[in-house]
């Protein structure tokens, strides 16, 4: 259930931990056995994200495309290094899950409730946790690589790190041309290129649509990476009624939406959480990291008073998804 920020974080973790190595690729579950065979033992040469899709390049012009869908997740185990540009939070879980849950992007580190620290690469606590479990069970031990838990579609394993993929909506091996075709169908992603040209690409696509802006922002072929949380929050921040047809919006309004998405996405990638009330400091910021309600304006806040105007936050079904918004602020 990650939105774009999580996928970019995962790609960075692959860059740091796998690119340049030649992992053994397996499918403990069996459903990706054929694809795993095509990739195993080849050097991983690149890791990229575009919107919610991730592409891992292997020697021999073979790419692994992964889309986590609604419940996919990556678990990293072993001596996991962390991209120094991203912050890491202590996880309440025993392993570093990337993808599912609001903790998206979490990898264990020292400390229980310790909050984000921009840091040098550090080790995850994973191995230790798992060894403790083995000790409890009275087993002797190899903590690494861990036994696959549940339905592991793909396992990538090098000398240091193990990455398990579970529950993806898409997981397939593609040729470079096929990767291009997928990327072609996606709109621009400001995490890859926040340029005037890319912004224009979004604006031009959006302004042709009579579709409500609340749906256009979720259309991955118009702008890539936005999901239901960022959609609701971006519209609130822009003061826009989600039902407004995109083609009636002023160009400057669309440009501002792009700029704000770039801003929120950068925060999300760095912090590992969707902080959509920005500018918080000190205790307020600490609470925002700990409680979802404290970091959003409207998402899942239906029935509560708007933090800005006091009106009742609304919930409606909109394009088969839940839409949260404030009719007082968004008009």
Partner DNA sequence: CATCGATGTTGAG
Partner DNA sequence: TCAACCTCGATGG
Q: What is the contact surface with DNA in residues (CB under 7 A)?
A: 1-3, 6, 29, 31, 51-52, 67, 69-71, 73, 93, 100-104, 149-151, 166-167, 169-170, 218, 220, 227-229, 274, 320-322
Closest CA to 53 of 149, 256, 235, 191: 191
Smallest gap from Cβ 291 to DNA, in A, equals 11
* Residue 77 or 103 having the CB closest to DNA: 103
* Residue 48 or 166 having the CB closest to DNA: 166
* Residue 167 or 328 having the CB closest to DNA: 167
* Residue 93 or 284 having the CB closest to DNA: 93
* Residue 44 or 72 having the CB closest to DNA: 72
Smallest gap from Cβ 274 to DNA, in A, equals 6
* Residue 44 or 74 having the CB closest to DNA: 74
CA gap 107, 123 in Å, rounded = 9
Phi, psi of 55 (to 5 degrees): -125, 125
Smallest gap from Cβ 323 to DNA, in A, equals 9
Where do we find the tokens 């898409």?
Answer: 170
- Contact criterion met (CB below 8 Å) for 182 and 170: no
Closest CA to 32 of 146, 160, 164: 164
Beta strands in 199-255 (DSSP E): none
CA gap 238, 108 in Å, rounded = 35
Virtual CA dihedral for 263, 265, 266, 272, nearest 10 degrees? 140
Give the three-class secondary structure for 177.
helix
Query: How open is the CA angle 182-187-191, to the nearest 5 degrees?
Result: 100
Smallest gap from Cβ 41 to DNA, in A, equals 26
- Contact criterion met (CB below 8 Å) for 106 and 96: yes
């Amino acid at each position: 259930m990650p939105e774009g920020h999580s996928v970019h974080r995962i790609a960075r973790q692959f860059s740091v931990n796998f690119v340049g190595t030649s992992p053994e690729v397996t499918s403990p579950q069996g459903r990706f056995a054929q694809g795993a065979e095509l990739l195993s033992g080849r050097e991983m040469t690149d890791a990229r994200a575009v919107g919610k899709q991730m592409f891992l390049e292997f020697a021999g012009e073979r790419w692994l495309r992964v889309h986590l869908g609604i419940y996919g997740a990556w678990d990293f185990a072993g001596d996991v290094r962390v991209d120094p540009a991203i912050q890491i939070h202590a996880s309440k879980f025993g392993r570093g899950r990337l993808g599912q849950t609001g903790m998206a992007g979490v990898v264990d580190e020292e400390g229980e409730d310790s909050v984000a620290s921009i840091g040098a690469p550090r080790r995850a606590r994973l191995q230790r946790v798992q060894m403790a479990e083995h000790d409890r069970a009275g087993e002797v031990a190899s903590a690494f690589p861990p036994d696959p838990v549940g339905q592991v579609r793909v396992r990538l394993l090098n000398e240091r790190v193990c990455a398990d993929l579970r529950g993806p909506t898409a997981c397939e091996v593609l040729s470079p041309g096929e990767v291009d075709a997928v990327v072609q169908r996606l709109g621009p992603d400001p995490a890859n290129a926040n340029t005037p040209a890319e912004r224009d690409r979004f604006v031009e696509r959006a302004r042709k649509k009579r579709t409500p802006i609340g749906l256009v922002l979720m259309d991955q072929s118009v702008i890539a990476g936005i999901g239901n949380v960022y959609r609701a929050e971006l519209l609130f921040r822009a003061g826009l009624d989600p039902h407004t047809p995109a083609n009636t919006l002023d160009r400057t309004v669309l440009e501002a939406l792009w700029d704000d998405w770039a801003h929120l996405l950068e925060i999300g990638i760095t912090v590992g959480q969707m902080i959509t009330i920005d500018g918080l400091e000190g205790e307020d910021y600490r609470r925002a990291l700990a409680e979802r309600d404290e970091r959003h304006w409207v998402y899942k806040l239906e029935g509560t008073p708007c933090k800005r105007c006091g009106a009742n936050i609304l919930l409606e079904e909109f394009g088969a998804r839940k839409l949260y918004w404030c009719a007082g602020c968004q008009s």
